[in-house]
Amino acid sequence: MQRINKISYYLLAVFFTSFIILGYNSALAQKSEAENKMMKIAHQLVCLCGCGNQILATCTCGNARGKREFILTQVEIGKTEQEILDIMVANEGEQVLAAPKKKV
């Protein structure tokens, strides 16, 4: 009887550990997907901090980090790429775009 209890506790511990690991991996996958979307958007923008109009995705200044965090938050709340770009243009002007808008 005592051996069955030990086995039961062991199996229960393995089950909960597996559950925690799977949940953690799922959270990491979601985070990396959001980060990938953020970086895709950040590659379309320039940093306007005065460091030479570097691409926002690669600029290392504090301003760029803050803008990337803002974009990531927007991605996480479900905004589309175009909505985020529109927000950035509304806040910073069209000079924030790495490439000019197409004129039709």
Q: Is the residue at 9 inside a domain?
A: no
Q: Give the model's pLDDT for residue 68.
A: 96
How confident is residue 16, by pLDDT bands cut at 50, 70 and 90? low
User: 41: domain range?
Assistant: 32-96
Query: What sign does the dihedral 72-74-79-84 (CA atoms) show?
Result: negative
Q: Give the model's pLDDT for residue 20.
A: 63
Q: Give the model's pLDDT for residue 58.
A: 92
Q: Does position 54 have pLDDT exceeding 80, yes or no?
A: yes
How confident is residue 99, by pLDDT bands cut at 50, 70 and 90? confident
Give CA–CA dist 64/92, Å, rounded.
Answer: 13
Q: Is the residue at 51 inside a domain?
A: yes
Q: Give the model's pLDDT for residue 51.
A: 77
Q: Is the residue at 102 inside a domain?
A: no
Q: What percent of the chain has pLDDT over 70?
A: 67
Q: Is the residue at 22 inside a domain?
A: no
Q: Give the model's pLDDT for residue 18.
A: 57
Angle at 81 between CA 35 and CA 52, to 5 degrees: 75
Contacting residues for 54 by C-beta, under 8 A, at least 6 apart: 46, 47, 64
